[in-house]
Amino acid sequence: MDKYVIDGGKQLHGSVMLQSAKNAVLPLFAASILTEKRVVIRDAPNISDVTCMAQILRELGAEVSFSDGNVTIDSANASCHEISSALTKELRSSVFMLGSLLTRFRRALIAYPGGCDIGLRPIDLHLNALKRLGVTISERDGFIFCACDRLRGAEILLDFPSVGATENILLAAVKAEGRTVLTGAAKEPEIVDLQNFLNAMGARVAGAGTDVIEIEGVKELHGVTYRPIRDRIEAGTYLFAGAACGGEVETIGVTPENIRLLLHKLRENGCKVHVKNDKIRVESNGRLRCNRRIETMPFPGFPTDLQAQATALNASCEGCALIVENLFETRFKYVPELQKMGADIEVKGRTAFVRGVKRLHGARVVAGDLRGGAALVIAALGAEGTTEVLDLSHIDRGYADLREKFRALGAEIRRVRV
């Protein structure tokens, strides 16, 4: 097990080239088995979730190779419709494989997916939508078995704009017979990216980015070489770190409109925000004021994946902030670790009340999930003294070269084997 040792209190200066978006790349891996032709995903991030997804495809019989940041997937010989419970429990995004497996094999057997421990994430929306497409589903002993003779287009209404369910429906409907109309779809940029990827393979999908997506089933899909969008959550993480530490931090690669509300919140903190094309620069003097209220919502609302990082910033701002988590009921599990660093935060249910303190101090803390771990790193960079952040396995799931990127900005951060 590794840990970060961070000497805080250093201003950050410089630019960060962002990695391809984790939440975009993983559905593209799932979509790659929709064709027997070769698929190349360019600039795939070197993170453990990508490695795990590659292993899932290999277990299905696909050939997956990595070279110079690119991933080549050849699923011509894929023949297995079962995913081992060890891999599904490790990676939440394995649930995307349901739609792809059904399209390719008309069968799918997976265990209930895992990932970060941030609360219940039921997949009823996924399963009910698949039933509308003609899939029979049985569940027992923690496994889900899906089967169909053929997939048929249908009208589907989601009660909640679930990102995963929306993407699963696209993957299941793209080669279904007839037309599928999905109402109540999630609007995240990563869904638009999946639509663009599928259409580059010969699919006929329209409407991603709105709440109504239409899919005309096609008979075949061909191979493609594709570069995913850059990671808006990684962008927010580095921008929040720049705000917390003071200095100037620029991110390169993300469309500003995709993090519009985040930039508004940073201005509310007292930061100066400069935007030019895909370059976003935040200037901070390190003496900021709290946001009055941050409430997570589906896109274009404030992302739940940036809630922990925003809380870490507000913990050392002047005033008080109210942080409301609407999507996951136990996503404040990182708060006791911030409290070890001197944060004054009170959590009641899905709400955290933050009283800003003048400065956090170093401590020994544990990263219990991906985004909570990123929040601890941000807090440590802005704190007085030395902080040890233990259990980097969660952070490694979503951030490539985090230590190197922060060091390039001027941070004192080391990775040490425990």
Catalytic residues: 116
Angstrom CA distances, 390 to 5, 100, 363, stand at 9, 36, 11
Containing 91, the helix (H) or strand (E) segment is none
- Phi/psi for 2 (5° steps) reads -105, 165
Output the CA angle 313-314-318, nearest 5 degrees: 125
Burial class (CB in 10 A: 0-12, 13-18, 19+), 231: buried
* Residue 231 · residue 20 · CB < 8 Å: yes
Instruction: Report the phi/psi class of residue 218: left, alpha or beta, with left for phi > 0 and alpha for psi in -120 to 50.
Output: beta
- Phi/psi for 105 (5° steps) reads -120, -10
Query: Which residue spans within 161-241 are E strands per DSSP?
Result: 179-183, 204-206, 212-216, 224-226
CA distance 55 to 66: 12
Burial class (CB in 10 A: 0-12, 13-18, 19+), 16: buried
* Residue 306 · residue 236 · CB < 8 Å: yes
Task: Identify the bridge partners of residue 364 per DSSP, sorted by sequence position.
Answer: 388
* Residue 22 · residue 235 · CB < 8 Å: no
CA distance 399 to 415: 14
